Amino acid sequence: MLPWHQYLMGVLFVLAGMNHFRKPKLYERIMPPYIPAHNAMVMLSGIAEMILGFMLMNKNTQSEAAWGIIIMLVVFLPIHIYMLQSEKAAMKLPKWVLILRLPLQFGLMYWAFLYT
């Protein structure tokens, strides 16, 4: 049996990935212009989040999933920085919320690291 917080993280990633399919335009809007094929990237990242979330909830694949989540969160950092720089991508969120999201990413990386 895995710890409850590991299941929590797995479920959060599965739900976040599902949201990419529910509201793809939201995710496309926050993507920097230098990333090609926004719609395809949103779908692929949603699939990756769901797969990694499910893998994290399996003792046999948790380490690979945790490393995958860490890598994915590092790859997503430029998107969070772009949201700080672009009014359109900021989604009318207060600047302090956008700034707070950056250390949150590192907190999520540490949380995932616990399962390596």
Q: How confident is the model at residue 105 (pLDDT cuts 50, 70, 90)?
A: very high
What average pLDDT does this structure show over 83-105?
94
The count of structural domains within the chain is: 1
Q: Give the DSSP H or E segment for 74.
A: helix 62-85
Reading the block at residue 32, the tokens are 């920097």
Domain interval for residue 15? 4-113
> 8-55: per-residue pLDDT in tens?
999 999 999 999 999 999 999 999 999 999 999 999 999 999 999 999
pLDDT on residue 30? 95
Q: Burial level of 25, CB count in 10 A (0-12/13-18/19+)?
A: exposed
pLDDT on residue 106? 97
